[in-house]
Amino acid sequence: MSTAKGRKPAAGEGNPLLLQSVARTMSVLEAFAGQPRPLSIAELAAAAGLDKSAGQRIAHTLQALGYLERSSVGLVPGKKALYRAFDFLRMNALVESATPVLHELRKSVNERVDLSLLDGTDIVYAVRLQSKRETFSATLVGRRLPSFCSTGGRAMLAALPEAEALGILEASDRRPLTPRTTTDIPAILGKIEEARRCGYALAIEESALGEIVLAAAVLDIHQRPVAAIHVAGSLSEWAEDGFRQRISPLVMEAARALSHTYKRG
Amino acid sequence: MSTAKGRKPAAGEGNPLLLQSVARTMSVLEAFAGQPRPLSIAELAAAAGLDKSAGQRIAHTLQALGYLERSSVGLVPGKKALYRAFDFLRMNALVESATPVLHELRKSVNERVDLSLLDGTDIVYAVRLQSKRETFSATLVGRRLPSFCSTGGRAMLAALPEAEALGILEASDRRPLTPRTTTDIPAILGKIEEARRCGYALAIEESALGEIVLAAAVLDIHQRPVAAIHVAGSLSEWAEDGFRQRISPLVMEAARALSHTYKRG
DNA sequence: TTCGACCGTATCGTATGGCGATACGGCCAA
DNA sequence: TTGGCCGTATCGCCATACGATACGGTCGAA
């Protein structure tokens, strides 16, 4: 998503050792992204950009392997997807070192704490520690958001060279998530500039209504942003000033504790 | 893992429309399961049962697609794995209907609540709602445990015909997870029988020390178990009797509320 | 320093594995 | 019934991936 997505991989387009069979396989798994309901074999093939025969064979094989399952109304991703995500989290050095820090932070602030990772123009939630009385967990681990409209994303953009941040903004899908999402590039740049000054980013109801979120970036040894730590509170309990004063030092300290421990994004 | 894992898929061994290229691709991704550290290309190929050339090509392609990433010491799974797990959770009808029920339950019991799914001889954690003061989240979504030693697994085994449950027990890897794990088949069958009588399963320190867990099975419309709801408490705060009396009715009610809403495992 | 082992990378002729057009039976709605 | 779309199955051809092989770099032990 974040990079090339040529219509037809055409085997070796660009790199001679890129296998089209692998790309086709993964494109079938990716075909579910954003789909509201299970897919038939034909729909799956179409969504993956394959003809019916190829879709049929790949889907059957993936089903036999547990990466696809039949539901009553079509095919859905299979449980094996969870195992692979578990492997990712387990082998990720940053997630590993972040876990105790995040728990500590969560204990201090008593609000929801998230760790997100930068991936191209987007961020992905990698760890979520719920707050005590959270009833909506519409957002889950693995959820992807454009970086411009999430606090964590803006904190990370602020740690990039201005030109690079601008490039990401321009390449992003800037549809608003809530009525209060900032979608205007100069305005976003202003907020990024503010984040650069403060050392953290703050957003009110830009990705979910009723929510105030504060985040700071985690940097690798080259001073490049690789992740962000978020704390989310409810507007029914927090005013902006109080949230800033109480939360920001803790989040920045946690982010600083994790920075430079990580080699490469 | 739960089914066949022939040394060499040999294209069409068994089913004529099974694609070996797909199986090879996924076997590279699966090679990380259980590995303690990043893998070199050669190690990855060996773990996937491929020669160096095939491993090289597949790994490079997967890396280009974001399913593999380079760390300082080798290859690790890539962020895309999280997206696929998110798709699974988002499109899973049971997870969707379970979410509000689990939150309700968590509010009532104020302890950790999990939803696990049955997958062959194992269970997978699909949803986890932490308790207020949980400091260790060693277990994560996507973690797989043998069903015999988890409460949820035993609750589900109790809902299967006895012969089938026995088959799963015999096929399971019955290494103990803690000193208190029950690994003796007759003893496990006894606990399953108890679960069948009570309508829920209970285990004390069988999968983690200091933990008492109670679980009830969720059944599909054919009365077959597809999932389980767990509540986990700390032994420093709960005695067995109190835990049973306080927690079991709530867990059973939540499991009943979800049962029969789901078509097929 | 000099090996040797192992790393990642790259090349290339070959044969095999998957391509995709095609066909069939079942089901549902018109 | 008819027509559409479903999932399934077949089959000959050729493009695709195979895998043996080779090369330069790096690291540790000799």
Residue ranges covered by each domain of chain A: 20-79, 92-258
Stretch B20-32: mean pLDDT: 96
Mean pLDDT of chain A: 89
- Count CB neighbours of A140 within 10 A: 17
User: From the alpha carbon of B58, which nucleotide's C1' atom is closest?
Assistant: D17
Chain B residues touching A82 at Cβ < 8 A: 85, 88-89, 124-126, 141-142
How far apart (Å, rounded) are the C-alpha atoms in residues B117 and A222?
Answer: 42
In 3D space, the residue among B252, B19, B253 whose CA is nearest the CA of residue A62 turns out to be B19
Binned at pLDDT 50, 70 and 90, residue A59 comes out as very high
User: From the alpha carbon of B63, which nucleotide's C1' atom is closest?
Assistant: C8
Task: Number of helices (H) and strands (E) in chain A: give both, helices first.
Answer: 9, 8
A vs B: CB pairs below 8 A: 205
Mutate to test the interface with B, among A22, A121, A139 (most CBs of B within 10 A): A22
How far apart (Å, rounded) are the C-alpha atoms in residues B247 and B201?
Answer: 11
Which residue in A has a C-alpha nearest to residue B21's C-alpha? A21
Q: In chain A, pLDDT over 70 holds for what percent of residues? A: 89
A87-90 contacts at long range (C-beta below 8 A, 24 or more positions apart): A87/B29, A87/B32, A87/B33, A87/B77, A87/B81, A87/B142, A88/B76, A88/B77, A88/B78, A88/B79, A88/B81, A88/B82, A89/A126, A89/A127, A89/B82, A89/B140, A89/B142, A90/B140
CB B109 within 8 A of CB B250: yes
User: Which residues lie below 8 Å from residue B236, measured CB to CB, with a gap of 6+?
Assistant: B210
Which residues 218-257 of A have a C-beta within 8 angstroms of B? none
- List the single protein residue with the shortest CA to C1' distance from C20: A53
How far apart (Å, rounded) are the C-alpha atoms in residues A232 and A98?
Answer: 17
| Å: B253 CA to D20 C1' | 63
Q: Would you give the DSSP letter of residue A147?
A: G
How far apart (Å, rounded) are the C-alpha atoms in residues B174 and B188?
Answer: 11
The vertex-A84 CA angle with A82 and A90, nearest 5°, equals 100
pLDDT for A133 equals 62
In 3D space, the residue among A260, A169, A61, A25 whose CA is nearest the CA of residue B67 turns out to be A25
Min Cα separation B108/chain A (Å): 11
Contact A26 B65 (CB under 8 A): yes
Q: Is residue A6 pLDDT above 70, yes or no?
A: no
pLDDT for A262 equals 58
Stretch A35-53: mean pLDDT: 93
C-alpha distances in Å from residue A253, one per residue of B17, B133, B154:
55, 21, 44
User: Which residues lie below 8 Å from residue B184, measured CB to CB, with a gap of 6+?
Assistant: none
Q: What is the pLDDT of residues A62-114, one digit of tens each?
A: 999 999 999 988 999 999 999 999 999 999 999 989 999 999 999 899 899 99
Pairing state between β B225-234 and A122-129: unpaired
Stretch A57-63: mean pLDDT: 95
pLDDT for B80 equals 97
Residue A81 touches partner B, C-beta closer than 8 Å: yes
Contact B66 A2 (CB under 8 A): yes
List the end-to-end C-alpha distance of chain B, in Å, as a whole number: 17
Q: Would you give the DSSP letter of residue B67?
A: S
Binned at pLDDT 50, 70 and 90, residue B262 comes out as low
Which nucleotides of strand C are protein-proximal, with an atom < 7 A from a CB? 6-11, 16-22
Architecture of domain B20-78: Orthogonal Bundle (1.10)
Chain A residues touching B60 at Cβ < 8 A: 15, 17-18
Q: Is residue A4 pLDDT above 50, yes or no?
A: no
Q: In chain B, pLDDT over 70 holds for what percent of residues? A: 89
How far apart (Å, rounded) are the C-alpha atoms in residues A259 and A133?
Answer: 30
**Domain range B92-258, CATH class:** alpha beta
Between B121 and A15, name the one with better pLDDT: B121
Contact A119 B23 (CB under 8 A): no
- In the numeric block, the tokens 């519409």 are attached to A138
C-alpha distances in Å from residue A44, one per residue of A50, B100, B152:
8, 29, 33
* Helix H or strand E segment including B70: strand B68-71
User: From the alpha carbon of A15, which nucleotide's C1' atom is closest?
Assistant: C10
Indicate the range of A3-17, A102-116, B184-198 predicted with least confidence: A3-17
CATH of the domain spanning A20-79 = 1.10.10.10
| Å: A38 CA to D12 C1' | 35
- In the numeric block, the tokens 């035993």 are attached to B154
